[in-house]
Structure 1
Amino acid sequence: MFKYKKILFYIISTISLIFLLSGCMKNKSEPIAKEGLFLGTYCKITVFDNVSRDVLDKAFDRVNQIENKMTINKPTSEIISVNSKSGLDYVKVSPDTFYVVNTAKHYAELSQGKFDVTIGPIVKLWNIGTDKARVPSPKEIQDKLPLVNYKNMILNEKENKIMLKQKGMLIDLGAIAKGYAGDEVKKVLEANGVKHAIINLGGNILAIGSKDNNKNWKLGVQDPFNTRGEYLGTIEVSNKAVVTSGVYERFLEEDGKKYHHILSPKNGYPIENSIVSVTIVTDKSIDADALSTTVFALGLNDGLKLVDSLKNTEAILVTKDKDVYTTSGMKDNLKITNSQFKLKNLSLK
């Protein structure tokens, strides 16, 4: 799930499609910030209120707590304990871990299994984003696919216990845990008097409040075909989470072919459709995180249909042809600044 420190340079250069555009805050105090490697990725929290720097330490302490419970890239964690007991027994976990796994199961049901955190055995085969990345053989993939099935992830809500029914099953929370961490950081900051802040956990953006002049934060939507910092357009948000999934974020190249990191639970290979990136804008970061992958897996039509059915949730989808599709509530917000991209309408049926 969370990548190793030795690939810090890689992570910093690929943190997301979404970056905060520079802008001035008319605050009497200078903003305070803390950045570094957390959750195995580059993170930064910037606060625009007159509060103690201890608030930033408290926020990142919370991030570390979540990582230590949910990572699969450390010697021990609650998720590692669940995985090690697959096919054998329930494991009692913290309310944090249970909530994230339960939310993941909700999105698996919502997408009919196209979002599935039991994809761990397939993720381990590919190892995209690590120095062990490789293209597995068709037989290796076929051998592991029967282990991927969210319906075999059994949850005991009364006792916060989780069991994987089949031996060899593995949960990987890489597509959702970072979003939960963003929400928890927001809680810590707000509990300590923060009213204006930007949380950036590896490109998962969460805006607290608005600028202190009551203007929205302006975010740039990365051009997925260009170098970092080149935008296709901008959006404005306040009190929203913004999360993007794209084919260019992490990939493996072998024999002239690129294999991106968004893997299908159905066939074990990188998902192939017309989409190159999905940006979700909604109230909670955990939902935005899970939905960005879910919508990518569902594809253009079904993905937009799903987002349109959800309250306070909007999406931007970019295709291989540089066509841009949005949900109805995002159409007037997105300002395309790169003429290579065209805003299109899609008639959903």
Structure 2
Amino acid sequence: MLALKKVLANNSTIYRREVRLMGNKFEISVVGNDPVWAGEKINSAITEINRVEKLLSTFSEDSEINAINRNAGIKPVKVSAEIFKLIDRSIQISELTYGAFDITYYSAGKDSDTDNHTAIASYTVVNYKDVQLDATATTVFLKEKGMRIGFGANSKGYAADRAKYVLQLEGVSHGVINAGGDLLTWGLQPDMEPWTVAAADPRQQTQPFADMDISNMAVATSVNVEKYATINDKKLNTVKSKNGFTVSEIKSVSILSPTAEFADAMATPVMTIGVNAGLYLINQLNQIGCVIIDDHNRLYPSKSINIT
């Protein structure tokens, strides 16, 4: 569980707005002195998040994602550079996690967003290795008929990254985007102190285990929902992973990363592979950290995390 620690100062204020976007509760906060200015900037962030939602939607018949899915097993589809790069990054994360993260799935019938809201492909016949990318032609080809791709596992983080980018372009030097419980921060609090969060036991949300400095970082959390209440729409079947092994008894995993997209994508896979393998994986990566809490309330930070 992550709780943003809010600190105010007399010379500036945190202006925030809560809105329902992409099926999640987003809270956009900017630091400034002018409420009109702050409102305009928050509007720009909301516009960008709505753009990303439309870009990645499977409901729109003319969307690039639908075009890719409709032509599965038939022909490559030329896509925008933005979509191509997002798919390419997703495939890299799949390779990094040995398929624990996978944007592909199999659909015997009509597409639905419900199919997309998972970080782990539920149909083992197709996987990320069946996605063929041509960087020169910027085309995407799904090799198997019935194969689909969806971004339910990392779209929220990507939207937050894009909103932050727009806000920074428009002169917002300090802020926080809370995307359904996942946090993305930049700059500092009004008193020039870092943004921090408290990592807590999911069953005891008011009892923090540790404070973490997350300024200019993103943090995403995945919770074992078979035993504990969800806090940010990430859901995991804890009985078996797709390779048939039981999932280790982890309560929650929090990933710290420079981008919300990567943090969002990595949280559930680390839970899937267990404490030791998860820590080993994270410790091999630059600028990435994690905090794992097991079912005995034991805290396992990666080597890059300083606990206070």
Question: Helix, strand or coil for the counterpart of 1:112?
Answer: coil
Is 1:296 the counterpart of 2:280? The answer is no
Inter-partner Cα distance in structure 2 for 1:276 and 1:126: 26
Farther-moved stretch of structure 1 (100-109 vs 268-277): 268-277
| 2:77 aligned residue | 91
Distance 2:10 2:152 in 1: 36
Can you give the 5+ residue segments of structure 1 that lack an aligned partner in the other structure?
A: 1-16, 131-140, 253-259, 336-349
Partner of 2:22: 39
Deviations 1:189-224 (A, max 9, x none): 111111111111111201111113321112122422
User: Which position in structure 2 is the counterpart of 1:308?
Assistant: 283
Q: Distance in 2 between matches of 1:302 and 1:40?
A: 32
Question: Paired residue for 1:328, among 285, 303, 307?
Answer: 303
What residue in structure 2 maps to residue 262 of structure 1? 236
2:182 to 204, 211, 216: 204
4+ aligned runs moved over 6 Å, structure 1:
249-252, 268-271
Question: Structure 1 pair 301/31, CA: closer, same or farther in 2 (3 Å)?
Answer: same
Task: Name which of 138, 142, 146 aligns with 1:168.
Answer: 146
Provide the secondary structure at the position in 1 that maps to 2:190.
Answer: coil
The answer for the alignment partner of 1:136 in structure 2 is: none
Residue 253 of structure 2 corresponds to 278
Compute the displacement of 1:170 (Å): 1.4
Deviation of 1:245 after TM superposition, in Å, equals: 1.3
Change (3 A) 1:129 1:104: closer
Quote the residue 2:44 is aligned against. 58
Cα 1:125–1:30, aligned 2, differ >3 Å: closer, same or farther? closer
1:18 aligns with 2:2: yes
Pick closer, same or farther for the CA change 1:322–1:126 going to 2, 3 Å.
farther
Mapping 1:241-252, distance limit 5 Å: 241-248=218-225
Give the gaps of 5 or more residues in structure 2.
Answer: none
Counterpart residue number, 1:49: 32
Deviation of residue 267 (structure 1)?
A: 2.6
* 1:182 partner SS: helix
Tell which deviates more after alignment, 105-114 or 69-78: 69-78
Task: State the alpha-carbon separation in 1 of the partners of residues 227 and 32 from structure 2.
Answer: 35
Give deviations 1:140-189, integer Å, cap 9, x for gaps.
Answer: x7xx431x311101112223221111011111211112111121111111
TM-score of the superposition, structure 1-length normalised? 0.75
Count how many residue pairs are aligned between Structure 1 and Structure 2: 294
Query: Are the aligned partners of 2:103 and 2:150 in contact in 1 as well (CA < 8 Å)?
Result: yes
CA distance in 1, matches of 2:271, 2:107: 20
Please tell me whether the aligned partners of residues 245 and 278 of structure 1 are also in contact (alpha carbons under 8 angstroms).
yes
SS of the residue corresponding to residue 184 of structure 1 reads helix
Which secondary structure does the structure 1 equivalent of 2:303 belong to?
coil
Pick which of 208-217 and 265-274 moved more.
Answer: 265-274
Letter in 1 for 2:210: G
Distance 1:26 1:111, change over 3 A: same
The one-letter code sitting in structure 1 at the alignment partner of 2:248 is: N
Q: Deviations over 1:222-274 (max 9, x none)?
A: 42234x5554433222111111111239999xxxxxxx832599638896212
**Conserved? CA contact 1:20–1:218, under 8 Å:** yes
Give SS of 1:276's match.
Answer: strand
Separation in structure 2 between the aligned mates of residue 261 and residue 271 of structure 1, nearest angstrom:
16
2:163 to 182, 185, 199: 185
Map residues 90-129 of structure 1 onto 2, 5 A cutoff. 90-119=76-105, 121=107, 127=114
Q: Does 1:237 align with 2:211?
A: no
Q: 1:66 to 1:120 in 2, by over 3 A?
A: farther
Residues in 2 aligned to 1:166 and 1:248: alpha-carbon distance in whole angstroms: 32
AA aligned opposite 1:145: T
**Counterpart of 1:201 in structure 2: which amino acid?**
A
> How far apart are the structure 1 equivalents of 2:304 and 2:114?
37
Partner of 1:145: 124
